[in-house]
Structure 1
């Protein structure tokens, strides 16, 4: 199902909205997309001085596509995949100073909540919200939106994001959040952040920009536009057709006011709507016992007639598979990426994660090699995109091999 801006009543257009000059842009050699790298001037914030934005970070799941590095006791968001800090800590850190840690809520599962709290000591323990069971991101967003409403009021601005994204330019990222917050604060819309779709990737969502909200600031120059169609995880052919229509990738980042999000879920998402009253009354057990599983993208974005997109140019990538690390990590001249004691000879396009042993590759291409806790895992980079069918076939003692938490 997809949404069309002509399928229902639209909120009033923000024809008076304008965008301040963004930070300095530099061309990205690989994609040709301009990437903002400058600092947002502290004296000229896009948000008003009284607009205290909150953040909701989705950090559930173990990241099975990163087996054997990830496991139920060492989920992906606690791994140091991109730098010296766990991904969840990097995520919280890049929000500051726009959103300080005390205004960050993290939604996660019961079995990893303690580990999440330990990884982000700057975030108050009560800000880590626990889902009793995984029910999709729509339920998680509703839960967090109601909690922000309880603490800060129904018109509070919220930035929603995932813990496992890569961001190359944090200053530009915060500038984009501030820009999106300026749009969301002026009308009853949900503002998603899109970035240039440089390939027909079926793992992402796609948003097709329509009419710009301001005649003076078109989407192509950093303005905001209504979304004429949103499609979550299309086929490769469908993704290519969407790109022909100037669709952008949905980064998983969006900004909204709590009242707007809860009203949108009530209107468009029946899987969640019938349980929202219980949530508002504080009956979390009733809510999670009755809500149906769906994602925020399929359950709301594909159905909404009030979805807006702003361009995000901050070096985004979704760290969803081993293959994505080849884009996010530093590579040698032959496109090899290694962690730990890894050595490459006459080889190209390989990914190696070595813990506790040396790995030497000679005369091979596009392999993934992972050594950890006595297990050596070898496959091609292409086959590593979805390891869940493999995990279902492994003996339990092998499947849970990556169970030792990473050392600080």
Structure 2
């Protein structure tokens, strides 16, 4: 690629608005069975109890950039994402801005709509710092320094990407070859991008000193990005502009929310920013990152977060290991025992068990593809399913019955609804429930119950200060989750209300 020094577009001042943009839409199929379509990788809890998304929000806050934090995510993940933002406890200096995709279309469409939205809100001078929600970075101070360096390079008219010094000949990452230096701090023009290489080429890249892992973190001005998008992918630019025009942002309760128009967004090509813009542009720079960087993309990466014992076994949960070495055991509920086994990854969840060799963890996604092709429920949902009001856990089911544990957050309520084919018996085991049962409104205390006949309008609400926990017993000829008619819903799931 022949490089040129980019001509500055709209002059950028030192006071240009800087907005962190968090991309949080990936399903994380290589981390099945913990990551699933209904509860994907950004929400996985790490050994310290925090999710990857929560850590990303906290890392963004430590940049010292106050104002909006923009998250691009699937509309099905909105309420979980908002909960993670609140749990990050960032204080009052940050406003969450959510752009909700109807379905994932990769990073180019996601960043395109984000850039156009930010241009409408803050102008062409806005600097975007784009980062995935599934990276783990511990050296936040160095990360902050690198971001501020990237902002200065972006003001010169570059599309800046972050590169990580390769420690090993990794074949699972893309590489960046550095060209001419831009400044004395290490920024360089990008000579070329290289797809995931074989082991021999990867070893040569490590030895060359000119190659970096592509970290997937970017920084650029709105004006530079949109001009390059228009130049190299005009169809995406046109559709993204139409999508934002049809998707106005609305502020409510301290949140700026933008639900994307489905027709125009889904018409965009499913393509990464690398293919759509960066590999075609001659305005790309790379900054070598001095911070630690862990792309949590497989069980091999998560394994490294756990301290090993004397036999190099790493355990999260309860396990007994006899004559076993170099194993990773993850168990959410049950005791796992191993006898005489080495070099295994064992991931045990309530409804699915994964056993894999460390050398083949990249192929876990093939399990998900097979499950999805047969419409097996475990590709999408856990036994515990999260809802805007809380969660439910499937405890037991059989012909014509299903038993759930329902947890309702403080102040939350389920929709006013009705089921055609099933009746429900609710038993309160913690807290107090406010229940609408037909024409009757009542309070149900701990160790009390109520019965909802099929065809009866009903609603469950938690008016208390503690979580409401109930056992629900469903009975009927059909117990599918789609047997629900909503008449009113505070979370916007009732389109005809």
Interval of TM-score (by shorter of Structure 1 and Structure 2): 0.7 to 0.9
Q: Aligned residues, how many?
A: 363
Give the structure 2 partner of residue 20 of structure 1.
none
Structure 1 contact 55–99 (Cα < 8 Å) conserved: no
Please provide the CA RMSD for this pair.
Answer: 2.7
Structure 2: how far apart are the matches of 1:405 and 1:86?
16
Q: Aligned-pair distance for 1:345?
A: 4.1
Sort the Cα spacing of 1:145 and 1:82 in 2 relative to 1 into closer, same or farther, 3 A: farther
Shift in alpha-carbon separation, 1:401–1:282, aligned structure 2, 3 A: closer
2:461 maps to which residue? none
149, 171, 179: which one pairs with 1:210? 179
Q: Distance in 2 between matches of 1:11 and 1:209?
A: 17
Give the C-alpha shift of residue 131 in structure 1: 0.8
Asked if residue 303 in structure 1 is aligned to residue 280 in structure 2, the reply is yes
Normalising by the residue count of structure 2, what TM-score does the alignment of the two structures yield?
0.67
C-alpha separation between the residues in 2 aligned to 1:316 and 1:403?
32
In the other structure, the counterpart of 1:10 is 5
Would the alpha carbon gap of residues 120 and 280 (structure 1) be closer, same or farther in structure 2, given more than 3 Å must change?
closer
Answering whether residue 39 of structure 2 is matched by residue 70 of structure 1, we say no
Distance of 1:312 and 1:251 partners within structure 2: 9
- Residue pair 1:65, 1:384 contacting (<8 A) in 2 also: yes
Quick check: 1:402 aligned with 2:368?
no
Deviation of 1:68 after TM superposition, in Å, equals 1.0
Q: What residue number does 2:448 align with?
A: none
Measured in 1, the distance between the counterparts of 2:360 and 2:327 equals 13
Deviation of 1:279 after TM superposition, in Å, equals 4.3
Q: CA deviation at 1:138?
A: 0.4
C-alpha distance in 2 between matches for 1:244 and 1:70: 35
Higher relative contact order (CA 8 A, sep 6+): 1
Residue 56 of structure 1 corresponds to 21
Residue aligning to 2:464: none
8 Å Cα contact 2:116-2:241 kept in structure 1? no
DSSP-derived class of the 1:382 partner: helix
Which residue is 2:151 aligned to? Answer: 181
Change (3 A) 1:255 1:314: same
Post-superposition offset of 1:312: 0.9
3-state secondary structure, aligned to 2:304? helix
Q: 1:26: which partner in 2? A: none
1:138 lines up with 2:108 in the alignment:
yes
Question: Hey, what's the Cα distance between the residues in 2 that align with 1:352 and 1:139?
Answer: 38
Separation (CA, whole Å) in 1 of partners of 2:323 and 2:291: 34
Q: Select the residue among 77, 86, 96 that pairs with 1:112.
A: 77
Q: Which piece of structure 1 moves more, 333-342 or 86-95? A: 333-342
Higher Rg? 2
In the superposition, relative to structure 1, how do residues 314 and 108 fare at CA in structure 2: closer, same or farther (>3 Å)?
Answer: same
The SS at the match of 1:155 is coil
Contact 1:146 1:279 in 2 (8 A): no
Residue aligning to 2:453: none
What is the aligned counterpart of 1:247 among 200, 206, 211? 211
Aligned pair in 2 of structure 1 residues 271, 231: CA closer, same or farther (>3 Å)?
Answer: farther
Which structure dedicates a bigger proportion of its chain to strand? 2
| Distance verdict in 2 for CA 1:287–1:233, change over 3 Å | farther
1:84 aligned residue (45, 49, 58): 49
Deviation at residue 137 of structure 1 after TM alignment? 0.7
Deviation readout 1:326-382 (Å, 9 max, x if unpaired): 233333344332211134444333221111111223332221111111433212122
Aligned-partner Cα distance in 1 for 2:96–2:138: 30
Q: What does residue 266 of structure 1 align with?
A: 230
